[in-house]
Amino acid sequence: AQKVTQAQTEISVVEKEDVTLDCVYETRDTTYYLFWYKQPPSGELVFLIRRNSFDEQNEISGRYSWNFQKSTSSFNFTITASQVVDSAVYFCALSPLIIQGAQKLVFGQGTRLTINP
């Protein structure tokens, strides 16, 4: 069975601090995809990143960076110099199967991140 665990239910930091959101996953698939989504208070899900299981290179996009470690089944997300606008619930997700190119996602429980001014 596939499972995604986000052990941090809530995180609160002061603006400009760096913060790391943890994600650990379980799967028996040899090929899989990992995602991060942001859900701001408005409720929509904003796609942040998708990584393939065979590509363990870390990714950086502006203040965002992702650390994928297959050996520990982790896909952690770091926000550098956090801003109040980063306040949201962040979901890590796993795609256990590709059906004609589309993905059925298994989501973690989410981490509510609050950035205080």
Q: What does the binding site for another protein look like in residue numbers (CB under 8 A)? A: 35, 37, 43-45, 47, 50, 91, 95, 98-110
What's the burial of 90, exposed, middle or buried (CB within 10 Å: 0-12/13-18/19+)?
buried
- Tell me the C-alpha distance between 107 and 110, whole Å: 8
Nearer to another protein, 15 or 64 (CB): 64
Answer whether 113's CB lies under 8 Å from 18's CB.
no
Is the Cβ–Cβ distance between 94 and 34 less than 8 Å?
yes
* Residue closer to another protein, measured from CB, 31 or 83: 31
Residues of 27-40 as b/e, b for ≥16 C-beta within 10 angstroms?
beeeebbbbbbbee
15/50 with CB nearer another protein: 50
Q: How far is the CB of 29 from another protein (least distance, A)?
A: 16
Give min distance, CB of 81 to another protein, in A: 26
Cβ 11 to another protein shortest distance, Å: 16
Q: Tell me the closest approach of the beta carbon of residue 59 to another protein, in angstroms.
A: 13
Closer CB to another protein, 15 or 22, in the complex: 22
